[in-house]
Chain A
Amino acid sequence: MDCRPVTAAAAALVIAVTIALALRGVARTETEEGAPVSGGPLIGPRVRAWYVGLFGPLAAQLVALGTRPDHLTYAALVVSVLAGTAFARGALFLAGWLTILAGTLDILDGELARRTGLASARGAFVDSVTDRWAEFATFLGLGVWFWHDRTLLAVAVAAFASQMVSYVRARAEGLGLVLASGRAQRPERYVILGFGAWLTGLSGHLLCPLLRYRPQALLVLTVWGLAAVATWTAIERTRDAVAALRARDSR
């Protein structure tokens, strides 16, 4: 058992300082949108605006370097495959970081498309399809790590529900509906899984000298929680789509 509590303590300190700075940044961020909508995403508009603003200068630099949104879309897929590989090997801190990086690249590609005026139907389609493969790659790695554990069931439910959240929206949009509701959309799922893995890796190394093993209860809880919120989101979206279609059909 490889315990690295000193490195983990240093990482925890950096993360604590960053969280304090982030909270200050979020508090100072102004949004044009009003109060959070009932049934809206878990991550509110203020946090989203702060995160996009944080990476604004980097997005501008990438545009100046001639980076296209597609490049970031494919980079997010590669990073997700690496995250899956890290999960499969039990490198939980690294896997969490890679999951959050993949989520950041996913946000940046949309931002780049808007800045460069390259937003297109082809780009949106490639982005959506690539996102599904990326999500599958991450869950596949997580499944390998939990191969001999009941948590594998939660991984399967979380993976299926995550795909259903996207499928219900795509099918509804195919029928002419606009369906943006849902608690655990893609950024929320990245944050839940990424931070859960990150904190599990960190706490594992910190507690390892005392316990003589690296506890994973936090990651198990995270995966069950993710399965629950993703399933709820898929059901919520289905209910909203059915209600909207019923109202349209009755007119």
Chain B
Amino acid sequence: MSGRGLRPVAFLAAMLGFGLRLDTAWRGTGTVLLALAAVLAVAAFRPNTSPPFVPDHDRG
């Protein structure tokens, strides 16, 4: 999945993590989800560093 596609997933994971930490005794699971959300957010907002596509006939 692309970086942009991961953004809503990261947000949903973060909110579930916060929800578990705020409203339940499953604080450890909430923390794990928050860590997962952070990793997903980093991947989602990382700038695209792959080189631009150049057609063969345009290459020098």
- Seen from chain A, the residues whose Cβ lies within 8 Å of a Cβ on chain B are 4, 7-8, 10-11, 14-15, 18, 21, 54-58, 60-61, 86, 89-94, 97, 101, 104, 201-202, 205
Minimum distance in angstroms from B46 CB to a CB of chain A = 15
Is A94 a contact of B1 with CB atoms below 8 Å?
no
How many chain B residues sit at the interface, stated as a range, is 10 to 19
Is B1 a contact of A11 with CB atoms below 8 Å?
no
Is A58 a contact of B20 with CB atoms below 8 Å?
no
Near A by CB (< 8 A), chain B positions 1-41 give: 1-2, 4-5, 7-9, 11-12, 14-16, 18-24
Chain B's interface: helix, strand, loop or mixed, by majority? helix
Minimum distance in angstroms from B12 CB to a CB of chain A = 7
Minimum distance in angstroms from B55 CB to a CB of chain A = 26
Is B23 a contact of A93 with CB atoms below 8 Å?
yes
A104 to B1, CA, bound (A): 18
Is A54 a contact of B21 with CB atoms below 8 Å?
no
Minimum distance in angstroms from B58 CB to a CB of chain A = 29
With known contacts A14-B14, A18-B11, A55-B8, A61–B1 Cβ distance under 8 A: yes
